[in-house]
Structure 1
Amino acid sequence: MIQRIQTVYLFLASIVSGGLIFVFNLWNTVKEKIFVVNLFSKEVFTLKVIPFMFIISAILSIVSIFLFKNRKLQFVIGRIIILINLFLLGLLIYLSLNVSGETMVSEKGIGMFLPIVVILLIVLANKAIKKDEDLVKSVDRLR
């Protein structure tokens, strides 16, 4: 059913990974604030991967909302979203540690923590999906 709590968690995860990337910056350089959409114009491949991963995470969260009849597939897609965001978080940490200190980046933005929020929301959604699946299995046993 679409009105379950996991739908709220998945919708919030899609808003965080698809909408808040336009609001919060990843880091500040001396000249400008770098948002996720600004990374499309960079030459480095690792920087171009970051926006695609955010968008894929948002799309998979939306798709997972509408798979409420197939809870096992919804659970698997949740795990895939978690893996994507863990890889994204690792990539962001790698880039923040490799960019030279005060010459390029003077301050990290709050956008670096968006994958952590998405991971927490998807874990909560998967927990609710698992709870629903266990409830359905227990009712099937009584029949």
Structure 2
Amino acid sequence: MIQRIQTIYLFLAFLMVGVLPFIFPLWTLNNGKEYFFIQNQFYVILFGLSAAVTIYSIISFKKRQTQFVANRLNMILNLILLGLFVYHSLNLSGETPAVSEKGIGMFLPVLTIVLLVLANKGIKKDEDLVKSVDRLR
């Protein structure tokens, strides 16, 4: 059902990948300009895919197995995003003139993965409940 706890987790995950990247910068450059995800086409694609998969997962609430698999795919997309952010911060960290300060936007994939794990736990709990009721019939 759509009013389950996993839907709340998935909605929060959508906020993390669909709304908050527009608000929080990924990092701040030395010249004081903030670097948002829109300035890199690859980040836009990955954030967009992640938001689309999250919406698909919310809509497919009647098919728990599909929802579970979509969340796993979304976790992989967010791990790729996180890996790209870590790679970028390690390559251009320290006294490099390109990056001076990391932003909170770099941690959005981590929070999204946590929310997706919690959503999958809720989906698993629902699936176990349905299986236990089917055993009693």
Give the structure-1-normalised TM-score: 0.91
Q: Name the SS for the 2:101 alignment partner.
A: strand
Structure 1 segments (4+ residues) deviating >2 Å? none
Cα displacement string for residues 27-67 of structure 1 (whole angstroms, at most 9, x for unaligned residues): 1112310011122xxxxxxxx21121111111111110111
Alignment partner for residue 112 of structure 1, among 106, 124, 131?
Answer: 106
**1:59-70 mapped onto 2 (5 Å cutoff):** 59-70=52-63
In the alignment, which of 83, 87, 94 is matched to residue 94 of structure 1? Answer: 87
Q: Who is 2:36 aligned against?
A: 35
Alignment of 1:1-143 (within 5 A): 1-31=1-31, 32-39=33-40, 48-99=41-92, 101-102=94-95, 103-143=97-137
Q: CA RMSD in A?
A: 0.9
How far 1:100 sits from its partner (Å)?
A: 5.1
Unaligned runs of 5+ in 2: none
Structure-1 separation of matches of 2:100 and 2:81: 21
Q: Which runs of 5+ in 1 are unaligned?
A: 40-47
Structure-1 separation of matches of 2:112 and 2:51: 9
Could you tell me how far apart the structure 2 residues matched to 1:110 and 1:100 are? 16
Change beyond 3 A, Cα 1:33–1:139: same
Equivalent position of 1:44 in the other structure: none
Report deviation, 1:17.
0.3
What one-letter code is carried by the residue in structure 2 that aligns with 1:24?
F
Identity %, equivalent residues = 58
Letter in structure 2 aligned against 1:79: R
3-state SS in 1 of match to 2:127: helix
Give the number of aligned pairs. 135
Q: Give distance in 2, aligned partners of 1:59 and 1:14.
A: 9
